[in-house]
Structure 1
Amino acid sequence: MDTMTATIDRVTAEQTTATTETPRQRAVRYLLAGTRLALGWIFLWAFLDKLFGLGIATESKNAWINGGSPTRGFLTFGVQGPFTDLYAAIAGATWADWLFMAGLVGIGVALLLGIGVRVAAVTGGLLLVLMWTAVLPPENNPVVDDHLVYTAVLAVLALVDAGDTWGFGRVWARVPIVRRLPWLR
């Protein structure tokens, strides 16, 4: 009986939301869904380029599948500021390569599918803040750069359940473990 009542309440809430949504709210929902998809593609593209060396940021000879390291180049030559020695010490480490690549693909796929957006936002935000610390001070501003802006955008996407529009967020939210642990949403 409780399951049926919960289902009826959920359907009623969805119908009420659908009928009371203003054109402006709908536009914001679609804009945020498009932003989620764009950020998902940014993360997934970085993964694919580093994996296969597609020639945009990574040459084929330096591709991970050809024995290259996804972290060595940037952490050796691209880092500046107070954390240079820390990042140089982990440049090219197998664990760092695997963690970085798993993060890129996991965040990218989660954002593109609209599932686990909250987890993707936290892990993506952490990755981006770490990348921000690698380039302190940023090139075009003494404090803020695109890494921090993307981090804020990820937080917004998680807070508004942006995976529900043009994604599988609503379906994912009904999975039993996600219902028990809403932070997985």
Structure 2
Amino acid sequence: MNKVLAALQTGFRPREERVTVLIPSRMRLESRWLDVVIHNVSSRGLMAGCDEPPPVGSYVEIRRGTIVIVGRVQWNKSRFFGLRSQDRLSVKALVDEPRLASRPVRSGDKESAVADRRAERRLAHEAQMARQVERSRTFASAFQFVVLVLVGLTMAGIAAHTVYGMLSAPAQQIEAALKTP
């Protein structure tokens, strides 16, 4: 009996805590590079989103600054996918890692000044897009709240009208019975 209980308990490990983040990164899938956003991280994997999520079972490489995460896609749904990493992840290091402004510069590269200007524009554009996403989320939350309040008020009005109709007929009969001598 104790062996069965021990076997059942070892099969049900508690799920590791995920840290919710919003980290823009780059992902290499086969020979293509795609923009992804990491939404949550644990020490053994992460959940990310992109326009074209990789198929289940494929191996991808995700880069954030100097950190490289290699892993296998465990699931995908809509725009999101779950990745089990090859190595343990340091959540703090991933969150604290700054994004590279541009590709690494080779020694003797004359285009570094041009690349730096492009990188500054790209970072400014990404910051603007992040602010726009946050404004859109705020607007969507407010709109959802207003719609729910209006639906609630409408339902309350319908319920009040129904209860009034149900109670007014017997009240009128009692009033008529009291008026007759």
Shared fold, TM over 0.5: no
State the structure with bigger RCO (CA 8 A, min sep 6), 1 or 2: 1
Task: Report which of the two has the higher share of helix.
Answer: 1
TM-score by length of 1: 0.24
TM-score by length of 2: 0.25
